[in-house]
Amino acid sequence: MERCPGCRARLGEEALCPRCGCDLSLPLRAERQVRRHLEAAIAALAAGDAGSAACYARAAQTLRDDELNRRISAWLDKLAATSQSAAPRVPMP
């Protein structure tokens, strides 16, 4: 977060806005969580688990619904669906 959503002042690393004193600890925590979800999605994708990657991307999108997160989530959903349909099916006894 570069600017305070309340007064648009430039922000540093502090959780309080230097201009209006707004407590930004919850939105900053949500931003960190979005980053963690996206990192986990990348790690899952690198491990070949597109389904888990798609779940992590959807969790990130739930916290921050922006264009980039929507596109990542949609792409991973398609990839997961493709990889599931391409996976060999185990016959039921």
Is 19 within the bounds of a domain?
no
Is 1 within the bounds of a domain?
no
SS3 54: helix
Specify the number of domains making up the chain: 1
**Tens of pLDDT along 16-30?**
999 999 999 999 999
Is 6 within the bounds of a domain?
no
Owning domain of residue 80: 33-84
Rounded to an integer, what distance in angstroms lies between the CA atom of residue 21 and that of residue 19?
Answer: 6
Rounded to an integer, what distance in angstroms lies between the CA atom of residue 78 and that of residue 50?
Answer: 9
Q: Nearest-CA neighbor of 34 among 56, 53, 50?
A: 56
Rounded to an integer, what distance in angstroms lies between the CA atom of residue 10 and that of residue 8?
Answer: 6
**Tens of pLDDT along 34-76?**
999 999 999 999 999 999 999 999 999 999 999 999 999 999 9
